[in-house]
Structure 1
Amino acid sequence: MSEVVASALDLESLRSFMAVAQLGTLAAAAEQRHRTVSAISMQIKRLEERLGTRLLIRSARGMTLTPAGESLMREARALLSQHDRLLARFTGQGLSGRVRFGMPEDFARELVGQILPEFMAQHPDVLLEAVTATSGELARRLERGELTLALLLDRAHRLEGGQPLWRTSPVWAAAREYVLDPTQPLPLGLHPVDCPYRAIGVEALEAEERAWYAVFTSTSVHALETAVEAGLAISVLDRERLTPAMRELGPADGLPALTGGETQLHISKRMSAASKPAVDALAALLHERLYQRGLWRERGAR
């Protein structure tokens, strides 16, 4: 009886496939993987040949997954995670300790979907505790020692000593068919008072003595986006969050220009010595992935 040898999948090709699937472009994946675009393209081609199916197709929005690609992405994530955990455990290269990480809710989708799983796969013995809150609340928790690391916007509650990552682009957002009535107070959809975007919008309106009222308040950016799309309210969102159902307003519409801010990474000075290497490792990964790119550029949008 002849021996049947199963074809093996190349793990580095799987990692490149995952990067393209998550970031949306070959160029973004090549930058993250420290390879050329042609090398990433060749890895994807060989992976498709090995599996005998098309995994990615080029579209107006970049590279998108085929149904087979969607299925492989789910399986590959679990496979690579298990591989990295096994390697870290047997080589003794994994870190330990606890990382208590805070982020604004606006950032959760990209961080929880991409960067945090990558960190946990590399360091399976680290206890990660991630929370979302407004930047002001996160800053206070950091000062109290309740967090060891946080991504913060530099408004509402400023902290010294942060590492700058990227500039924000706040804009007035309204439903595409929304018509402003200059004789009426502006109906706003807002985060709570600790939100930097709320502060940016309110300060700009009050500087011009423009009347406004909060028609809708929520801690959820997705709820605010829904309120804007439905025409219930105007809100201050990052330009990258505008959907096809929205349009940007500005001085031509009678609204004041908005000033951008900065997203910074803050590391607490109050942590155990055992946890510091793990905190520094996550901070380094966040800096590598996000410096001068931001979250939306990290996933290949716009």
Structure 2
Amino acid sequence: MAEVQASALDLELLRSFQVAAQLGSLAAAAEQRHRTISAISMQIKRLEEVLGSRLLERGPRGVTLTATGEALLQESRELLRLHDGMLSRFTGRGLGGKVRLGLPEDYARELLVDVLPEFMAHHPDVLLEAVTATSGELARQLTRSQLTLAVVLDRPHPLPGGEALWQTSPVWAGPRVGRLTERASVPLALHEVDCPYRELAIEALEAAGTAWHAVFTSTSIHAVEKAVEAGLAISVIDRQRLTPAMREIGRDEGLPPLRTCEARLHFGRRIEEASRPAVEALATLLRERLRECGPWRAASRPV
């Protein structure tokens, strides 16, 4: 019986494809992989030839995945994760390098008590640094290559590329007692500029022609929540953050509907080769825990 000659997948081709898909740009992939754009393009072409299918569509604003490319991206992540894990176990070397993770401050508490401790327990040799900021500031840090991985809401400064994790659930929150919306100008407790929910609140009120003024501004979500609980103002927060001292308010009190945001996972443009497996491992854990449900269900998952 004649032996069937099977094509073999080159893991380096898969890595270049994965980076290009994640960043949405051959130029960004070339920078991260320390190769030329033509070399990355050739690697993608060779992979497409091996598989007999187009994986990426090239355009003036970068590259996008085809249906086949989307399927390959999901499976290649698992293949590379298994490969890197097996190599670490048999060589006695665990994951190392450094990961600088950016998180919106509103979700840091849930992620810090659930996802990140698990990652550090499994990968003690990885130097993990988590930083919190508004999504606008995180977007700027990503473009300046100051972060290797970040969870960013798609407002107020949407970034190209990225992977959808979950849809947020913003609501108008007011104190349990009192109707602050009956005033001539709605009093607001807001984050400073670059906060997605600040933009949602102001955008909705101004579109409805509703007068408003800021009575409390802070970089801390906890301070904003306290201002609402104390009856100083109303604000926009995630529904899951409502406390017993708050209540959800809306159209019945004259407030306009709010748009939603999408939380997306973004990779930095420059990731050191030695740190890439650790970055991918953390990205995999974030996908597993946060996709479609956000941090709330992750934080309530029994240990």
TM more than 0.5: yes
Is 1:262 matched with 2:262? yes
* DSSP-derived class of the 2:180 partner: coil
Q: Which residue of 2 aligns with 1:208?
A: 208
Shift of 1:300: 2.9
Q: Cα–Cα, structure 1 residues 93 and 215, in superposed 2: closer, same or farther, change >3 Å?
A: same
Q: Which amino acid aligns with 2:118?
A: E
Distance in 2 between residues matched to 1:217 and 1:146, nearest whole Å: 27
Shift of 1:90: 9.4
Is 1:143 matched with 2:146? no
Q: Cα–Cα, structure 1 residues 181 and 91, in superposed 2: closer, same or farther, change >3 Å?
A: same
Q: Which amino acid aligns with 1:97?
A: G
Q: Which amino acid aligns with 2:297?
A: R
Question: 1:31-70 counterparts in 2 under 5 A?
Answer: none
Is 1:233 matched with 2:258? no
* DSSP-derived class of the 1:160 partner: coil
Contact 1:94 1:122 in 2 (8 A): no
Distance in 1 between residues matched to 2:273 and 2:219, nearest whole Å: 34
Structure 2: runs of 5 or more not aligned? 1-87
Q: Which amino acid aligns with 2:106?
A: D
Q: Which amino acid aligns with 1:165?
A: L
- What number of residue pairs does the alignment pair up? 214
Q: Deviations over 1:12-67 (max 9, x none)?
A: xxxxxxxxxxxxxxxxxxxxxxxxxxxxxxxxxxxxxxxxxxxxxxxxxxxxxxxx
Q: Deviations over 1:184-230 (max 9, x none)?
A: 11110001110001101100001012111110011111111111000
Q: Deviations over 1:72-94 (max 9, x none)?
A: xxxxxxxxxxxxxxxx8997252
Is 1:220 matched with 2:220? yes
Question: 1:2-17 counterparts in 2 under 5 A?
Answer: none
Q: Which residue of 1 aligns with 2:176?
A: 176
Structure 1: runs of 5 or more not aligned? 1-87
Shift of 1:180: 2.9
Distance in 1 between residues matched to 2:93 and 2:245, nearest whole Å: 48
Shift of 1:179: 1.2
Distance in 1 between residues matched to 2:181 and 2:263, nearest whole Å: 34
TM-score, normalised with respect to structure 1 = 0.68
Shift of 1:274: 1.2
Question: 1:57-206 counterparts in 2 under 5 A?
Answer: 92=92, 94-206=94-206
Contact 2:148 2:267 in 1 (8 A): yes
Contact 1:148 1:268 in 2 (8 A): yes
Q: Percent identity?
A: 64
